[in-house]
Amino acid sequence: MSDEHKIRIMIVDDHQVVRQGFAVFLKAFPDLEFVGEAVNGEEAVELAGSLQPDVILMDMIMPRLGGVDATRVIRDANPNIQVIALTSFTDNKQLVQDALNAGAIGYLFKDVSIADLAKAIRLAYDGTPVLAPEATRMLIQAKTQRSPKDYNLSKRELEVLSLLVDGLSNAEIADRMSVSSSTIKFHVSSILGKLGAATRTEAVSIAHQQKLVL
């Protein structure tokens, strides 16, 4: 492949050993060209405009300006530049969402194989999203995890649900809340209906799974 058709790569990471490692890796692929590096988000924003790389490998957690904000600024100013978020944080659902919302086309972890990273760069260059399987799983979890607002539970119902989670009976809840047992029975019935639960035990399980109560 001729030089004019090489995919131009910029690496952004605050660790020198990481930047050097990726730079060496890129030399193994004739269609990929290392064109520059930055040590933080601020520097990345400055260099992206002048270097105009095709793809940026962007670390997410850096001093001065993090990867999410740097990605947003770069993509706003240079929509032709694709950004792949590259991080060692494998359990941060919010970070995945923030990176993609900022305009990153991909989200990979730093333990990705050389072959998979090269493939991801080519896909990103062509405009195809690339996500690590774990990142995809976290996005699915984030979408399926619902909030109390999604279930339309009232403040009173949330209070009753919290006491159900604590293992209190209807009579105990009524005593705790200074209302009649029939009122609590009505609230419990409403809670089961809104949660789609057949029993109190199932309602408690859903409350735990969806983190509906503290």
User: In the prediction, which pLDDT does 1 show?
Assistant: 46
Query: Checking DSSP bridges between strand 82-87 and strand 106-109, what pairing results, if any?
Result: parallel
Instruction: Answer yes or no: are the C-beta atoms of 95 and 89 closer than 8 Å.
Output: yes
Beta strands in 39-131 (DSSP E): 55-58, 82-87, 106-109, 130-131
pLDDT-based confidence at residue 196 (cuts at 50, 70, 90): confident
Q: What is the pLDDT of residue 93?
A: 78
Q: Do 156 and 134 lie in a common domain?
A: no
pLDDT averaged over every residue in the chain: 89
The reply to whether 77 and 167 lie within a common domain is: no
Number of H helices, E strands in the chain: 11, 6
Question: What mean pLDDT do residues 169-183 have?
Answer: 94
Residue 11 counted as domain residue: yes
Q: Using the predicted structure, report yes or no on whether residue 139 has a pLDDT greater than 80.
A: no
pTM: 0.67
- pLDDT tens digits for 55-104? 999 999 998 899 999 999 999 999 999 999 998 877 777 888 889 889 99
**By mean pLDDT, which of 27-31, 78-82, 139-143, 154-158 is the weakest?**
139-143
CATH number at residue 103: 3.40.50.2300
Give the domain extent around 136. 3-144
